[in-house]
């Protein structure tokens, strides 16, 4: 199904994975897919880091999920390192394979001298090309704290509003306080854009994860850091994990109360934390 139609029908639940790079990662992902499939997600999303090998892994996983007929899949596409003709071929291949949903992203600038110079300036160019090639439901990325490469939040929101006006929905980078999502949605509405914005959820389950998340573009607020450190003092790593799951569950409940159109879980190809949050909310 098309994700814009799923969003129009009601609250969605979705999970994001990355394509495996080894046999060991494939075993882990297969187990995760089997486990989370039981939760009947609205759709699943498959990332793509760029380069021919990564692109093929994403294509293979997305089309395999679609052929199985049990889950709706969305394929990620990026601008970086791609010529327009190359992306047009990728989109045509997805369309021919029956894939109806794509995520149009700018992408991180890779340190790879073999990649061609990008013929896309921004993700909005990829949205426009996707519209030309096929009847896709198109998602874009949103950053509640602003994109790391944006000069300021106001300009980031301006460009996001233009991009989302042409797309069907957005999925946010992970964040940790409900007001980050509500402020983003209100800002977009003030700019005349009311397309669905799915909040992205990633629990912090270790103290080391605090620093890692900052490098991924999501600053963990001091109040959550204090909460996790207090848990560590009480009960070590196990208590930190439990507190991180509790905090993410509370955030999800607040988002649903604020009429979020759904919840999008960044799984890191593991099912345990996502399932615990999901079960606390929906069972």
Q: Are 77 and 105 in contact (CB under 8 A)?
A: yes
Tokens 């955030």, located at residue = 251
The structure tokens listed for 25 are 């990662």
**Rounded-to-integer distance, Cα 215 and Cα 208, Å:** 12
Q: Are 142 and 170 in contact (CB under 8 A)?
A: yes
Based on the residue annotation, tell me whether 16 is a catalytic residue of this protein: yes
* Catalytic residue selected from 5, 16, 66, 180: 16
What is the DSSP pairing of strand 169-174 with strand 197-201?
parallel
What is the Cα 12 distance to its own chain's centre?
Answer: 13
Among 256, 267, 269, CA closest to 280: 256
Q: List, by residue number, the catalytic residues.
A: 16
């Amino acid at each position: 199904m098309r994700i814009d139609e799923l969003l129009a029908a009601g609250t969605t639940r979705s999970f994001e994975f990355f394509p495996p790079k080894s046999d060991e990662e494939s075993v882990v992902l297969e187990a995760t897919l089997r486990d989370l499939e039981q939760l009947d997600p609205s759709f699943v999303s498959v990332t793509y880091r760029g380069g021919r090998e990564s692109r093929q892994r994403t294509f293979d996983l997305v089309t395999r999920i679609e052929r199985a007929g049990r889950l709706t899949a969305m394929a990620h596409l990026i601008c970086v390192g791609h010529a327009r003709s190359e992306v047009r071929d990728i989109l045509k291949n997805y369309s021919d394979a029956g894939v109806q949903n794509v995520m149009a992203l700018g992408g991180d600038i890779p340190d790879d001298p073999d990649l061609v110079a990008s013929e896309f300036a921004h993700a909005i160019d990829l949205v426009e090309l996707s519209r030309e090639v096929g009847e896709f439901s198109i998602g874009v990325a949103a950053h509640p704290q602003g994109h790391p490469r944006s000069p300021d939040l106001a300009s980031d929101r301006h460009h996001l509003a233009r991009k989302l006006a042409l797309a069907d929905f957005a999925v946010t980078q992970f964040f940790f306080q409900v007001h980050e999502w509500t402020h983003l949605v209100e800002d977009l509405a003030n700019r005349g854009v009311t397309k669905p914005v799915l909040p992205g959820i990633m629990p912090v389950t270790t103290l080391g994860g605090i620093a890692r998340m900052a490098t991924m573009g999501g600053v963990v607020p001091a109040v959550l850091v204090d909460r996790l450190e207090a848990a560590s003092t009480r009960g070590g790593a196990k208590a930190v994990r439990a507190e991180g799951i509790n905090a993410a569950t509370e955030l999800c409940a607040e988002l649903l109360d604020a009429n979020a159109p759904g919840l999008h879980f960044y799984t890191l190809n593991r099912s345990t934390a996502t399932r615990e949050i999901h079960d606390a909310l929906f069972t």
